[in-house]
């Protein structure tokens, strides 16, 4: 991370007294933050951090080599996303919900699928991802570490979005906290449906409506 960003954080900490243990606070400077706040990613540790607006702005330069990166607030929907059954099976994801992101530290794409135990990681074969990217060049615009391709192929649904990584982990949390029994239960699936309706309502549509997907 650049020295200037460290200097700013050091001055913030030096000018503050001991933080009061009340409410949620920025994980960088201990400033009180609202329930709806922004996030940065610790690129090396792949950790999501809750931050105030000031600390968030320190890490918005996408061209700088920083230890932390600001998580953007971008939603794209791909109604004509080219992703057939063979390509899906090649990614070896055993359930119908998943998200995929590129790690700049590891230099590879990882797939994650939510489960009652949390996010389960599945490393992808490079050829499978390159084929998917070639068929959908929009994926090359996905910001490393902080954005992901979110896939919903539950039942007959075929929905694909580019979203911030914090929304993906929000989905993981909803499933982990709400899952009951073997099938999850009616309530958790209602919650999942509401989550995707919210994503859809915020997403900018990219491309033309699809013909059909396998």
Report which of 154, 82, 73 is spatially closest to residue 113, judged by C-alpha positions: 154
Whether the CB-CB separation of 61 and 118 falls below 8 Å is answered with no
Q: What is the mean pLDDT of residues 51-75?
A: 90
Number of domains in the chain: 2
Token pair, residue 144, equals 């490393």
Report pLDDT for 1.
46
Parent domain of 124: 76-205
Co-location of 103 and 166 in the same domain: yes
Q: What is the pLDDT of residue 5?
A: 57
Verify that 58 and 83 share a domain, yes or no. no
19 with 113, same domain: the answer is no
**Cβ-based neighbours of 145, under 8 Å, separated by 6 or more:** 41, 43, 46, 69, 101, 102, 103, 104, 105, 165
Query: Do both 9 and 48 map to the same domain?
Result: yes
**Is the pTM value of this prediction over 0.75?**
yes
Asked if residue 123 is part of any domain, the answer here is yes
Residue 170 within any structural domain of the chain: yes
Q: What percent of the chain has pLDDT over 70?
A: 84
pLDDT category of residue 150 using cuts at 50, 70 and 90: very high
Which domain-ending residue is among 11, 46, 70?
Answer: 70
Confidence of residue 8 (pLDDT cuts 50, 70, 90): low
Name which residue leads in pLDDT, 89 or 203.
Answer: 203
Backbone phi, then psi, for 114, in 5-degree steps? -75, 150
Residue 55: what pLDDT? 93
| Confidence check: pLDDT of 187 > 50 | yes
Q: Decide if pLDDT at 133 tops 60.
A: yes
Please check whether residue 167 is in contact with residue 146, taking contact to mean a CB–CB distance below 8 angstroms: no
- Identify whether residues 32 and 93 lie together within a single domain: no
Share of the chain above pLDDT 90, in %: 53
* Same domain flag for 146 and 98: yes
82 & 166 share domain: yes
Per the DSSP assignment, residues forming a β-bridge with 70 are 40
pLDDT score of 19 more than 60? no
Residues 102 and 27 in one domain: no
Residue 175 has pLDDT above 80, yes or no: yes
DSSP percent split of the chain into helix, strand, coil, nearest 5: 30, 25, 45
- Smallest Cα–Cα separation from 146: which of 72, 58, 61? 72
The average pLDDT across 181-203 equals: 94
Q: Tell me, what's the pLDDT at 212?
A: 39
* Whether residue 147 sits in one domain with residue 61: no
């Amino acid at each position: 991370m650049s020295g200037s960003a460290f200097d700013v954080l050091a001055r913030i900490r030096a000018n503050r007294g001991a933080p009061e243990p009340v409410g949620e606070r920025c994980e960088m400077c201990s400033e009180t933050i609202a329930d709806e706040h922004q996030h940065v990613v610790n690129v090396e540790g792949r950790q999501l951090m809750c931050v105030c607006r000031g600390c968030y702005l320190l890490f918005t330069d996408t061209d700088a080599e920083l230890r932390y990166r600001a998580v953007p607030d971008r939603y794209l929907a791909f109604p004509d996303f080219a992703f057939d059954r063979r390509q899906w099976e090649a990614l070896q994801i055993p359930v119908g919900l998943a998200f995929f992101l590129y790690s700049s530290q590891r230099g590879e794409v990882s797939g994650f699928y939510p489960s009652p135990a949390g996010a389960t990681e599945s490393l992808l074969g490079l050829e499978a991802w390159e084929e998917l990217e070639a068929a959908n060049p929009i994926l090359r615009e996905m910001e490393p570490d902080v954005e992901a391709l979110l896939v919903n192929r539950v039942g007959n649904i075929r929905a694909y979005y580019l979203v911030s990584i914090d929304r993906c982990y929000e989905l993981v949390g909803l499933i982990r906290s709400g899952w009951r029994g073997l099938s999850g239960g009616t309530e958790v699936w209602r919650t999942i449906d509401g989550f995707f309706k919210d994503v859809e309502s915020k997403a900018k549509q990219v491309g033309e409506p699809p013909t059909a997907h396998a």
